[in-house]
Structure 1
């Protein structure tokens, strides 16, 4: 992780001006440009010395020996975290545009996602990605144990979306040899009631962290059985990625100078069109998925090399979750060149996610 070096106020101002000029022009920035356009009350030699210091700190670099400087990924990271103001009056633009375009009674949430992505892409100048709500943020509604033979039972799970899953398990050896099958059925019903009391309303992904040996203390002969049940339920613990996402704004972004090389364009298009399964874990923070037990910032950024996928290394990914109640169920993201208007795009992503949350939870 990058640790930002301490910078004097002068160095901060010069770094801010360099990044802002490069974002606006896509041209390397030299000391003469900074002196002429930003009215620094110091000499060109002082500016050159400051640029050299910022380059040694890893915040700027020269694409060619005779060229000016351009921001590094670390430079953009420091710029976003320390040098810009996100309290922009334009942050309400997305909400107002959505409200205006969605007036009327004949719409559904899928149409809302389509229009939200279209508006976000147009206002940000980036590729907008909006995922459909996840169907696998599952909570347990009911669990039932049913004996099907002297050696096996079926575990039936019913989720909050009324999906049903079942699996077969072997009974503990001590219970397979039980003489009174009617008593065993009664005991399984008591155990079912006990598990429902303990587990109802919990997300399946949370069950993996439960101490099943502790649950088994009240039913000692079932301790190993409950541990086996945990292992059999593991496939249900991992939320599957959303089934689809809405994408807008590709044609405009690939015209940017950063994508002048065709191989970079092909890699990005291939990711968006053919490899969305690789993109979902990046958007949803690699593997764990969003959840109320795992706090996260309202907006997350992956800048350049911070992206794990090679096809996204020339890009910045900005994402925010939208929620149903307090539970994150989907994501609003933009992908664009690292040379983007962060002070505008970050609030736009956050505002879009907030609007979707309010609509979904209203």
Structure 2
């Protein structure tokens, strides 16, 4: 989790702050001192609670959206809540009967492909939490070329076929500015196979490419697009697929009634590269593989008003995948964390 220094808060201030955050998460309404005095048995008067709330606001844990309104938690308040105030042993995950049936279905499916397992798990997390979930299968290793061939489709169009070391076959169409003679194509295909087999994308150096050009006797302008096609085949397998589940859940939360804010986040959810960056940034650290980023702690501007909770699942040091949950900073943190932990147990028992 993100490290933060806190001012020393006494037990009374901590209890009041926890009550305010719990109430605000449930009600979405600014919380006043009378509400806390009535709903929580603290043995304190409304005036005493109001004074403590004023101190918490001055210390940056609360804010007051309107002069006449109650207080709402700040990012700093949520961070203290997550780090110090949540009861880790409190059973907050209460799936509905429909949720339980979906979970049973997930457990009964014989899912052998890691990508599909992560996708199914993301769907379950989204269903249980009612937030948007994003999943990314872990890349166990970068893949090397096992075999390759270059075939002619027409006078200016080639098909590059690459078999990778995981036996996945990828292909890429390459367009040429100048055609290759049949004997040139045959020679180039053999040379590329000899020099590139066994190499990963980042091992195909300029020196190897220069050797291909020299041995084939074909000019650089015609060879380079073919090498780029080969590299693209490898990268297609190396790049992690991103799965987004429960996008419509965003609209259930009043924070996203603002069309501009909702549009910004929905656009982000369609950018796989940005989502991959978001999940990769959360892969390291965190208790039990859980990382919580609140508001402005997030590196991406588009989620600076959101909280992102991610769990990275691994076995024997091998990264199986990462699942993240995106929602308002007024997120039910306990519920999301317990859902991710619950799915972790299911994933690792498959």
TM value normalised by structure 2 = 0.68
CA distance in 2 between counterparts of 1:302 and 1:155 reads 46
Trace 1:64-83 onto structure 2 (pairs within 5 A).
64-83=66-85
Give the conservation status (yes or no) of the 8 Å contact 2:135–2:243. Answer: yes
> What secondary structure does 1:348 align onto?
helix
Please tell me whether residue 125 in structure 1 is matched to residue 122 in structure 2: no
CA distance in 2 between counterparts of 1:37 and 1:46 reads 15
Distance 1:77 1:35, change over 3 A: same
Distance 1:4 1:103, change over 3 A: closer
Structure 1: any 5+ residue segments left out of the alignment?
Answer: 143-153, 171-237
Trace 1:198-237 onto structure 2 (pairs within 5 A).
none
CA distance in 2 between counterparts of 1:67 and 1:164 reads 58
Please tell me whether residue 261 in structure 1 is matched to residue 263 in structure 2: no
CA distance in 2 between counterparts of 1:16 and 1:96 reads 30
- 1:45 deviation in Å? 1.1
Give the conservation status (yes or no) of the 8 Å contact 1:131–1:242. Answer: no
Give the conservation status (yes or no) of the 8 Å contact 2:93–2:335. Answer: yes
Distance 1:312 1:168, change over 3 A: closer
Distance 1:97 1:115, change over 3 A: farther
- 1:354 deviation in Å? 4.0
Give the conservation status (yes or no) of the 8 Å contact 2:122–2:245. Answer: yes
Give the conservation status (yes or no) of the 8 Å contact 1:316–1:336. Answer: yes
Partner of 2:240: 243
- 1:254 deviation in Å? 2.0
CA distance in 2 between counterparts of 1:67 and 1:103 reads 47
Distance 1:141 1:86, change over 3 A: farther
Trace 1:1-362 onto structure 2 (pairs within 5 A).
2-89=4-91, 100-102=104-106, 104=108, 106-109=110-113, 110-134=115-139, 137-138=141-142, 158=198, 165-167=203-205, 169=207, 242-273=239-270, 275-285=271-281, 290=283, 296-297=286-287, 298-359=289-350
- 1:270 deviation in Å? 0.3
CA distance in 2 between counterparts of 1:61 and 1:40 reads 22
- 1:285 deviation in Å? 1.3
Give the conservation status (yes or no) of the 8 Å contact 1:12–1:83. Answer: yes
> What secondary structure does 1:302 align onto?
strand
What is the alpha-carbon root mean square deviation over aligned residues? 3.3
Give the conservation status (yes or no) of the 8 Å contact 1:128–1:335. Answer: yes
- 1:23 deviation in Å? 0.3
CA distance in 1 between counterparts of 2:340 and 2:107 reads 21
What is the CA deviation profile of residues 95-130 of structure 1, one whole-angstrom value per residue up to 9, with x for unaligned ones?
976762135565443443333222111111211111
TM value normalised by structure 1 = 0.66
Give the conservation status (yes or no) of the 8 Å contact 1:127–1:247. Answer: yes
> What secondary structure does 2:118 align onto?
helix
> What secondary structure does 1:40 align onto?
coil
> What secondary structure does 1:7 align onto?
coil
Partner of 1:177: none
